[in-house]
Homo-oligomer: A and B are copies of this chain.
Amino acid sequence: MAENVDLLWEPRDRGGRPQRLALTVDRIAAAAIEVADSEGMAAVSMQNVAARLDVTKMALYRHVASKADLVAVMIESAVGDPPNLMTVPGDWRTRLTRWADLMRETWRRHPWLPAATTGERPTGPREVGWTESAVAALSDTGLTGGERMDAVFLLSGHIRNTQSSATAGTQPWTTDKNLREVLHRHRDRFPALFEAATEAHAATPTDNGWTFGLTRILDGLSTLITTRHHPNQP
């Protein structure tokens, strides 16, 4: 558990030895990401990743301490370098919108990220960098430190929820044929849900609540920030 922190935070110099290595942490991570991108996180086993590199699974353990370690490196590699939002013209809202869009795009490219980033786990510098970006975008808003943290957490959570399919019981109702059929059969029991789902299904296809939720969250932040700037007005 502690080793991977070193693996993530310390530069990986190989002790000066100029050896040519068949296997490196980066190659392993790349192979694992390939597996996850194409077959999902469940398919990421040491066996599978090793097979893709034409190597036995135990060979991987020469470079990563555990599977959790491997996943941590995968994440750190997949999230990419955090953006510099200071170059984005506009206020906090413009910047946070940009941040959210970039984040969403990254997570869209690697749909396994929501599944991989649950539970307690080590965090790498690039991932921290993304958080830094968002917190920094809220610098001049008058929010307290705790509020800035909470705001970024709220936004991150929204990305996670909309990017991982079927996280809550709510979403698939409008699309999943099977669920729609069940709902139709029990429409007497769930009239409000049935009506909303039917109406939603007839309307233009949804983006999984992404835009809706983002706008609501930013509106809510806006309300708070405005109040802070003008504390004596409603």
Contacts and interface: CB of A to CB of B under 8 A. Distances in A.
B212 A216 contact: no
A161 B118 CA distance: 10
A171 B153 contact: yes
Interface of A: 5, 9, 115, 117-121, 123, 125, 127-132, 135-136, 139, 144-154, 156-158, 160-162, 164-174, 179, 182-183, 186, 189-193, 195-200, 203, 206, 209, 212-213, 215-221, 223-224
Query: What secondary structure prevails in chain A residues at the interface with B?
Result: helix
A161 B161 contact: yes
Given A115-B118, A209-B154, A149 B173 contact: yes
A129 B189 CA distance: 8
A146 B206 contact: yes
Contacts of A195: 145
